[in-house]
Amino acid sequence: MDYLRPLAQAVLPIYLFSICHALTAALVTSITLRRSRLALASRAAVLFIFGTVLQRAKV
């Protein structure tokens, strides 16, 4: 299964980046404060995971 590792390292950051954009859209368009806080917290978590993945990737 080592042949899937480069593919996963290429696709996962793109996937996390798209999730981050979707959460940003939810943050901007949310009406209630509770939803905007939830979107902001989710975006921060995704960015943290994105940073961790980029640090571990051998570029």
* 19-43 pLDDT, tens digit each: 878 877 877 777 777 877 788 788 8
The dihedral sign for the CA sequence 6, 8, 9, 15: positive
Query: Is residue 18 predicted with pLDDT exceeding 60?
Result: yes
| Contact assessment for residue 22 and residue 14, using Cβ atoms and an 8 Å cutoff | no
When pLDDT is cut at 50, 70 and 90, the band that residue 58 belongs to is: low
Rounded to the nearest 5°, which phi and psi values hold at 24?
-65, -40
Q: What is this structure's pTM?
A: 0.55
Cα–Cα nearest to 26, from 36, 34, 11, 14: 36
Q: What is the arithmetic mean of pLDDT over 49-53? A: 78
| Contact assessment for residue 16 and residue 53, using Cβ atoms and an 8 Å cutoff | yes
Please give the pLDDT value at position 49.
81
Please give the pLDDT value at position 3.
60
